[in-house]
Amino acid sequence: MKRYAIIVPSSMGVRITPKDRQPVHTSREYYMQATSAETNVETVSASLGLPVKVLTNFVEGSPIAEFIKADLRSRNIEYEGPEIPQGGPWGYRHQFNIADCGFGLRGPRVHNDRAGEVGRILDASEFDLERIFGQEGAEILHISGLIAAMSEKTGKFCLELARCAKKHGTKISFDLNYRASFWKSREPELSKIFREIASVSDILIGNEEDFQLSLGVKGPEAGGRDIAAKMESFKNMIIEVKKEFSNVSAFATTLREVVSANEHLWGAILLMEDKWHIAEPRSIQVLDRIGGGDGFVGGLLYGILKGWSPEDCLHFGWATGVLATTSLNDYAQPADEEQVWSIWSGNARVKR
């Protein structure tokens, strides 16, 4: 019996969001939350009672670190990692993400301030991986390309985790999350890392650009803005990817068309058990779009952990992605499974 449902490597930070959907450059009041893409994913399982853990670095003596730890505890997420001395006012810190929600035809804008980010020096030697994966155990190790590409050290860290997890029978989920700014002048180095992680992965998540630019697999051009074209293009892409990464048992991506900052067409597609499963795009109302993709992955992995059918995994992931977009926090915290299934069914009636 494995102790954890999901373990993630991550670099924790905080996001500050202007109140009342105002733009950053004119705002005076902000809402602050602790965040990372990877913990956003496992928050779904943590909220529904499954044990999860994040492996990360903290800045020693930092009030932001204490804020992050308190937030993780409130989300039922265990954490493990070294306390790194700040090294003076120009030393290490937790990253800041400054982002507004947008409104109407004014789209959201995101500014990342990651100088001195303590997560960039994550090192496998600081963690007892044999204990974590061999003795305690995890059902799924979820890795994001954001962490794998942050620095030379984080790339090696993710590789060590993937190798150890695979050795001990842990499934590996890899969300490719290609970011051009992270890859600039590092293409050969990162391509090798991403391809090795993908070669031991059981679940791969990403759009066409993610697969082509992260893994170097040639495929059709992106399908443009039309969702139907995106869907067909993604299917053609995965046919090519499967030829090289036959170890992968599930491929998934979300499908989004932006009508306005407040309304999206939201869908998803999953290839699992050699069959395509599709959540047709539906109109959803959006409070804050950031975190919707992580919410989808979180729900998808929860369904896989519960042993559900591929169709139910996809539908649940679609709905937890929607749930994330209804919250000022950039993660989904379902009250229970019923709430998620009500979202999928379109039932927004009051529950008393």
For 79-137, what is each residue's pLDDT tens digit?
A: 999 999 999 999 999 999 999 999 999 999 999 999 999 999 999 999 999 999 999 99
Beta bridge partners of residue 6, listed in sequence order = 52, 140
Q: Are 193 and 187 in contact (CB under 8 A)?
A: no
Burial (CB count within 10 angstroms: exposed 0-12, middle 13-18, buried 19+), residue 193: buried
Token duo for residue 320? 């937890």
Distance, in Å, from the CA atom of 202 to the CA atom of 272, rounded to the nearest integer, reads 10
**CA 194, 197, 200, 202 torsion-angle sign:** negative
Which SS3 state, helix, strand or coil, does residue 252 take?
strand
Confidence at residue 231, expressed as pLDDT on a 0 to 100 scale: 83
Confidence at residue 221, expressed as pLDDT on a 0 to 100 scale: 62
Helix (H) or strand (E) holding 97: strand 95-99
Beta bridge partners of residue 113, listed in sequence order = 96
**Neighbouring residues of 258: CB distance < 8 A, sequence distance ≥ 6:** 107, 264
Q: Taking the model in full, what pTM does it have? A: 0.96
Q: Which amino acid is at 99?
A: A
Which SS3 state, helix, strand or coil, does residue 23 take?
coil
The stretches in the chain having pLDDT less than 70 are: 219-225
